[in-house]
Chain A
């Protein structure tokens, strides 16, 4: 089942920062990893990815550097900054509160009442 774009757009920066928390990556690698880990659910278009990455860079959450890959191609790698780690932490907390609240509502308020 395809996930609605509006549902995905709010959480994309959280997903990207989480990927970069593990290792530095280049754009193509991020799309492939995201697709693989989500079992093809998050098939991100490159056209969506780069504006988002550039905005994260502008916010200071990620930084870039150039590195020559094994293939000899010069690639721009993205790495998370300490500021980005802080944003990721906040976004994770926000996400947990949000999903818990959504679950509570979907389950008719029973899960929240017992908690």
Chain B
């Protein structure tokens, strides 16, 4: 049904008073529905259509007054706590790199002017993420997911055309897997065991495609974040299946994979705990880190040399600072990083929109996993993946992607008041019936 002209004029007047443009559609929809309800009631009680429309508008009250009251109710909500901690971490990261370049040897040459350029670029990318409409992840999940998968598949083929560094940096794209999967999982309209298996398969497709792109074990870490989100949805009853059976479906393949790869996995776990027995030589760095940390003090410089630890600027920045200033450096990083995660978790849990909650949780978990791996590596546990301490180290591609993700998370929190989940009618994957008939 077309909206009455009087209603449109009234709603335009209301919206003129609301400064936050994104809130206009939410307000217009609700007030418009109310006007139409009121008009229908009046028509039922004997009013003519136009007369009823006029009366409905009069019953609403003064448009300018309503608009100004709604303007006070609808204001974007910047998460100042997160913005402040992010700014502190970014600035600290830049000055930490500057300090290390001047005070430590490093196998990697770092141009501090270039580093400043990346810091500025990261701020711009974060602002872009902040103003981006994150609901696009839920509106076009299949297009985004397919595009991402195609990019991952094609990258090895265009490898020859790319420089090594570009190919290397592209690995950071893996960090995007959890948010892309959050969009798919939110949109996924199928219920029942078929629906659960379908959504699980879509995650596995992303993981397998990631492996094709680059055989990094990190893909399992970010796939694991997606798995956690799927588990949470299952436990909340999203798929309307028995939870114990659903958990069996989700975790049987994981257990089977572990059994299949047990020899390699058990060795890897052993080398994490005892890096000195690693025959491949990867444990050397962890052994050196442990020796440096053994001599570290609570406050003040340790006695052991850091000369045998490569890449102090990036991969082992935290080890260097523990050596240089004491364990207090680790405490400071844990406090700042913990504050970022705690502020984000508090807001993510409170999100009214399920999509907002899922996207912000996906970003939060990705940052937590990244930071956890980095800190473990810097404490002498050679884990796996690319060690990145969000916003602190590295300073280039990883900083850009993490800044974008934090910007996107801030966009979720900012738009909490106006993003509402649409109703998606649950579907069951249709069963295919195959019947055989005897030919005459």
Contacts and interface: CB of A to CB of B under 8 A. Distances in A.
Contacts of A71: 40
Interface stretch (B69-77, B179-187, B199-207, B228-236): B69-77
Interface string B12-40: 00000000000000010011011111101
A37 interface: no
B61 A46 contact: yes
A50 B66 contact: yes
Given A58-B417, A63-B352, A73-B36, A47 B423 contact: no
Interface in B29-81: 30-31, 33-38, 40-41, 59-63, 65-66, 69-70, 72-74
A28 to B, nearest CB: 4
B422 interface: yes
Contacts of B69: 47-48, 51
Contact of A74 (B27, B60, B65, B423): B423
B352 to A, nearest CB: 7
A46 B36 contact: no
Nearest to A63: B352
A60 B62 CA distance: 27
A54 B421 CA distance: 17
A84 to B, nearest CB: 14
A33 interface: no
A51 B34 contact: no
Nearest to A51: B69
B243 interface: no
Interface in A22-58: 26-28, 45-48, 50-51, 54-55, 57-58
Contacts of A47: 60-63, 65-66, 69
B30 A45 contact: no
B420 interface: yes
A46 B34 contact: yes
Contact of B61 (A26, A45, A58, A66): A45
Nearest to A48: B61
B67 to A, nearest CB: 9
Contact of B33 (A45, A54, A76): A76
B33 A51 contact: no
A27 B73 contact: no
Given A28-B38, A45-B60, A45-B61, A50 B31 contact: yes
A66 B34 contact: no
A10 B34 CA distance: 24
A46 B63 CA distance: 11
B70 to A, nearest CB: 5
Contacts of B34: 27-28, 46, 50
A46 B370 CA distance: 49
Contacts of A67: 423
Interface of B: 27, 30-31, 33-38, 40-41, 59-63, 65-66, 69-70, 72-74, 350, 352, 417, 420-423
Interface of A: 26-28, 45-48, 50-51, 54-55, 57-58, 60, 63-64, 66-68, 71, 73-76
Q: Which 6 A-B pairs have the closest CB atoms?
A: A47-B61, A47-B66, A51-B69, A45-B61, A54-B73, A28-B37
